[in-house]
Amino acid sequence: MHIPDGFVAPEIYIPSYAVEVLLVSYSFKRFKKSLEEKTIPYLASLSVFSFILMSIMIPIPGGTSIHGMGVASISLLFGPWVSFISISVVLFLQAVLLGGGGITTFPINALSVGFFGSMIAYYSYKLFIKFIKEKITLFLSGFLSTILSVLLIAIVLGIHPVLFIDSSGKPLYFPYGFSVVIPAMIIPHLIVGIIEGILTNLIVLNLKNKVRNEG
């Protein structure tokens, strides 16, 4: 889900940078208030795990890549705002150090995966846990956070050939419309979503039990 430079118009990524900075500033305040010292090693470990998952990028048609995320686990264990900061740092480091995604497109990646993915994971869990067993709820949380993050990125890319074209009708940036980019991104990520759901289940339940035993 790392979008390279050159695919997103300045009219999109400049406002996205502004939104990213504002949300990071707000979430940092929440980060300092909500995080306990004894849980920091767990957050660090899961952030490194997420970094590794997202570093294994397989290019796919549609202008992006397929990879795991690890977002839902962090969001459910530490809250969506802490998860947003963690994933934003992971994506920034990948863009700068590994070339995973562009610098101009960093806020699109961070907002889609870090913010939107974390919120979907957290609030879908809060919704479904009222009606469904926890193991299934955890799976759905991981699956939905992956698929809906991908869908948002696909929408951002797919709107470009509609809004940004030259006088002859040629796309100026990303060239493929919704009919191409949405299935090209969603279909391969269905497998990723299933794996993400399984990992979310295993990680969250095991860490909850470990913290409970330590307490």
Flag whether pLDDT at 32 surpasses 80: no
Q: What is the pLDDT of residue 63?
A: 53
CATH number for 10-214 (one of 3.40.50.1980, 1.10.10.10, 2.102.10.10, 1.10.1760.20): it is 1.10.1760.20
Q: Which residue has the higher pLDDT, 38 or 7?
A: 7
Domain ranges of the chain: 10-214
Of how many residues is the chain composed? 215
Q: What is the pLDDT of residue 33?
A: 67
Flag whether pLDDT at 180 surpasses 70: yes
For the chain, percent of residues with pLDDT exceeding 70: 90
The per-residue pLDDT for range 96-106, each reduced to its tens digit, is 887 777 889 99
The per-residue pLDDT for range 39-90, each reduced to its tens digit, is 777 788 888 888 887 777 777 665 556 777 889 999 999 899 999 999 999 9
Q: What is the pLDDT of residue 148?
A: 95
Dihedral, CA of residue 199, residue 202, residue 208 and residue 214, to nearest 10: -120
CB 56 within 8 Å of CB 4: no
Global pTM value? 0.88
**CA separation for the pair 85, 100 (Å, rounded):** 18
